[in-house]
Amino acid sequence: MEESAVRMKAYAVAFDEIRVYLSKGYYNGISSQFYIKNIENDELIPLNGDSLNNSSQDGFQEYVFHTNFTMGKVYKVVDAYGLSCYLDFSKLSMCEEFDELYFYDHNDLGNQYTKEKTTFKVWAPLATGVILKVMKWNGETELFPMKRQKKGIYFVEVCEDLELEQYVYLIRHTNSYEVTLDPYAYSSSSNGRASIIVDLEKVPCRQFDLPVLEKMTDMVIYETSVRDFSMSSTSGMKHKGKFLAFTELNTSTDSGNPTGLDYLSCLGITHLQLMPIADFATVDEKNPLELYNWGYDPLAYNVTEGSYVTDPDDGYMRITEAQRMVEALHSRGIRVVMDVVFNHMHDVNINALERTVPYYFFRRNGDGSLSNGSWCGNDLNTTALMCRKYILDMCRRWQVLYGIDGFRFDLMGIIDQETMKLVDAQGKALDPSFVVYGEGWNMPTALDEEMRTTIQNNLKTPYIGFFNDFFRDTLRGTNQMETKGYFSGDTYKTNDAMKAICNLDMFAKITQSINYVECHDNATCYDKLQISNYDESEKIRKRRSRLMMAAVILSQGVPFLHSGQEFFRTKGGLSNTYNAGDQVNALDWNRKDMEIDTTQFVQFLIHLRKNNPCFRYGSYDMIRKNVKTENINHRMIKYSLHQNEGEYKDFIIYFNASLETLQVEVEDGFQLLYHSEKGKILDHQLDVNGVCLAILVR
């Protein structure tokens, strides 16, 4: 429609109020009479007592009327000259009473399949008509008008065997029907063309009895992308860029060292965090090698990403191949955390949520414009009850159907605390070992700051973890390439580094602190040190990286590693490589062979953490009683730990980020477990070389 030619618009803005806009280029925007017409029976009712609003909107004169209408019916508004337009109900979703009137608390939305019949339910309270369109494998198309029920539900029952048939909804909000997918479907065809009907009895989730996770500090998280993990020719995996790569056994590098699942088992991690695996928009699922994207551009939350599946048009493979990946990881004792992007969607206008209930699922500013705290053009309206329920329903689906063990929330500060607490409570009710954590950055979304799930508000969400940017910036330096942290040589940050290592009183609980210096965002530590420490040798820069990894793994809180960090992953100096392609992002497994000493060093540290509870204290009280840090000569940190059980009774760890060699006194009974430069204790004295880690045990 050519907007400049529009002469009349009409909106229901409350359940007893209509606003009409007449172009000032049409009779100066003045009409002596307006009517509302029910299209179903042609009844024409005068809108009496109209009031002329003195304000105007973009060249239109505004009129306000109070009248009655029935939801689900089609109406036109007509002026004194016979000009008419359809009445648009979309803005009613922004009314305060909308949730009270239309919240639907049942769990039967989507399609419910049996061999004899399939029922379809879609929540579309603003719609004036919904048609189910089924596209059959034999080329036939069938249309089934859906009946409106209470709470804005549209329903139809089709008494046929529709297994693996494709379908869409045709939803009318004014005068035309829009095609949309089913936001509750379990499967879809490639590139979001249609939803697919599957028999859920054929895709049961296989459960493994994993040891109970007593507390979040028992975790060791390792982040990777499904695509990056296996795409390189060095990976030794056949299913490159696919879920099934994680199921392959006995894969190896060119030198014969383990890759893939076998490598993850050897490394000793407890949780694998997968970057988005729900359906995203910017990779062509039929031609996945043509475009690259990390996946933080959601197209649908209810189905898996098709480019990660061997056949994205196979309705069952969409489910089973992701299930097999999770099962394979579980069989090695590794839990799976799913990176979820419930803060925005790729495109407001084309996704099923907006097309099903316009204006409802996306947060609005006071003037009605879209909130954009995500910097992606839109924010999900998580305080809207059906939006919150949808997030909870999808979280439950990923947990129950796929076996997911936790969620990492992207831009969690966009989401309200009540929603996050409900997600956490639901997950733990199904599995006490379930974990929830995310990015607690304070984004400028149209939600009161006190309601946002931010680091600043962590006291209100004590069971949800947060990425600790103080830890990152203090130990590594900020995201600006040239800035230094303590471990890159800024010893003015020694006291702050001591604080970061113990994380005392930074959160409601120590279990909330996700400690990291590198993740998929921004440059790798190896690349950053090439800039911030350009005047140092490669050997020294690598030792600095090793110190950072040691601090991540041995500090109080929850350690988080980026895949390849343990063998100095590089992205060629680039930072935000979300669409930079496989050449930049694919994990180069041959680097693991080149840096095998560092990989084994990380394995050693993970083993040390897992076998000594003093690195995994679950309360600040335990840390205060048993952990101490000291500043040595304003350059080096002495990190002392005591425990009553484990491999050793006491630890003294020296982190020396300076270039100077510092001599320390060694107490009776302590032995040297590790020294970066293979130093020795002589006459109760130990030299801690520059850029060195020394671990003493008793």
Architecture of domain 620-697: Sandwich (2.60)
**165 catalytic residue (yes or no):** no
Share of the chain above pLDDT 70, in %: 99
Burial of 41 (0-12, 13-18, 19+ CB in 10 A): exposed
Q: Are 17 and 28 in contact (CB under 8 A)?
A: no
Domain with CATH 2.60.40.1180 in the chain: 620-697
Q: Are 252 and 272 in contact (CB under 8 A)?
A: no
Which pairs count as long-range contacts for 27-33, CB under 8 Å and 24+ apart, including other chains? Answer: 27/81, 28/61, 29/56, 29/60, 29/61, 30/61, 31/63, 31/79, 31/80, 31/81, 32/80, 33/79, 33/80
Task: Give the ranges where 370-459 is alpha helix by DSSP (H).
Answer: 385-402, 417-430
- Provide the token pair at 335: 């839990």
List 409's β-bridge partners, or say none. Answer: 340, 438
Give how far the C-alpha of residue 396 lies from the chain's centroid of Cα atoms, to the nearest Å: 15
- Provide the token pair at 485: 């942290």
Checking if the pLDDT of 309 tops 60, the result is yes
Which amino acid, residue 576? N
Query: What's residue 52's pLDDT?
Result: 74
| DSSP H/E element including 328 | helix 317-331
The mean pLDDT value for 487-506 works out to 95
Q: Which of 58-67, 141-150, 224-233, 554-563 has the lowest mean pLDDT?
A: 58-67
Q: Are 555 and 500 in contact (CB under 8 A)?
A: yes
Checking if the pLDDT of 264 tops 60, the result is yes
Residue 257 CB neighbours (<10 A)? 17
Order the strands of the 627-632 sheet from edge to edge: 627-632, 636-642, 650-656, 692-697, 671-675
Q: How far is CA 620 from CA 75, 510, 626, in A?
A: 63, 6, 10
Q: Are 654 and 632 in contact (CB under 8 A)?
A: yes
Residue 50 — very low, low, confident or very high, per pLDDT cuts 50/70/90?
low
Domain with CATH 2.60.40.2320 in the chain: 3-88
The mean pLDDT value for 345-361 works out to 95
E strands in 468-557 = 513-515
pLDDT tens track for 628-654: 999 999 999 999 999 999 999 999 999
Q: Are 362 and 379 in contact (CB under 8 A)?
A: yes
Query: What's residue 127's pLDDT?
Result: 97
Q: Are 498 and 637 in contact (CB under 8 A)?
A: yes
Query: What's residue 2's pLDDT?
Result: 66
The mean pLDDT value for 542-561 works out to 98
The mean pLDDT value for 407-433 works out to 98
Q: Are 336 and 326 in contact (CB under 8 A)?
A: yes
Query: What's residue 355's pLDDT?
Result: 96
- Provide the token pair at 249: 């056994």
Nearest CA-CA partner of 133 in 90, 99, 165: 165
Mean pLDDT for all residues in the chain: 96
Active-site residue, from 248, 410, 424, 588: 410
pLDDT tens track for 659-684: 999 999 999 999 999 999 999 999 99
- Strand 141-145 relative to strand 177-180, pairing: unpaired
| DSSP H/E element including 265 | helix 260-267
| DSSP H/E element including 329 | helix 317-331
E strands in 396-470 = 406-409, 435-438, 465-467
Query: What's residue 208's pLDDT?
Result: 85
Q: Are 655 and 550 in contact (CB under 8 A)?
A: yes
DSSP per-residue string spanning 218-251 = G--EEEE-HHHHHHSTTS--SSTTSGGGGG--S-
Active-site residue, from 178, 439, 473, 518: 439
What CA–CA distance (Å, rounded) separates 226 from 237? Answer: 12
3-state secondary structure of 580: coil
Given 2.60.40.10, 3.40.718.10, 3.40.720.10, 2.60.40.2320, which CATH number is that of 3-88?
Answer: 2.60.40.2320
Phi, psi of 245 (to 5 degrees): -60, -30
**79 catalytic residue (yes or no):** no
What CA–CA distance (Å, rounded) separates 155 from 40? Answer: 20
Checking if the pLDDT of 206 tops 90, the result is no
For 129-142, b/e burial (b = at least 16 CB within 10 A) is bbbbbbbeeeeeee
- Provide the token pair at 393: 């329903």
Phi, psi of 534 (to 5 degrees): -60, -25
The mean pLDDT value for 295-309 works out to 98
The mean pLDDT value for 403-427 works out to 98
Query: What's residue 636's pLDDT?
Result: 98
Checking if the pLDDT of 186 tops 60, the result is yes
Q: How far is CA 400 from CA 187, 247, 447, in A?
A: 15, 20, 31
Checking if the pLDDT of 137 tops 80, the result is yes
Phi, psi of 533 (to 5 degrees): -125, 40
Query: What's residue 53's pLDDT?
Result: 72
Checking if the pLDDT of 3 tops 90, the result is no
HEC letters along 105-118? CCCCCEEEECCCCE
Return the higher-pLDDT residue of 363 and 206: 363
Phi, psi of 365 (to 5 degrees): -75, 175
Burial of 427 (0-12, 13-18, 19+ CB in 10 A): buried
What CA–CA distance (Å, rounded) separates 190 from 315? Answer: 10
pLDDT tens track for 31-46: 999 999 999 898 899 9
Query: What's residue 56's pLDDT?
Result: 63
CA torsion angle 512 337 281 324 (round to 10)? 180
- Strand 84-88 relative to strand 271-274, pairing: unpaired
Query: What's residue 55's pLDDT?
Result: 64
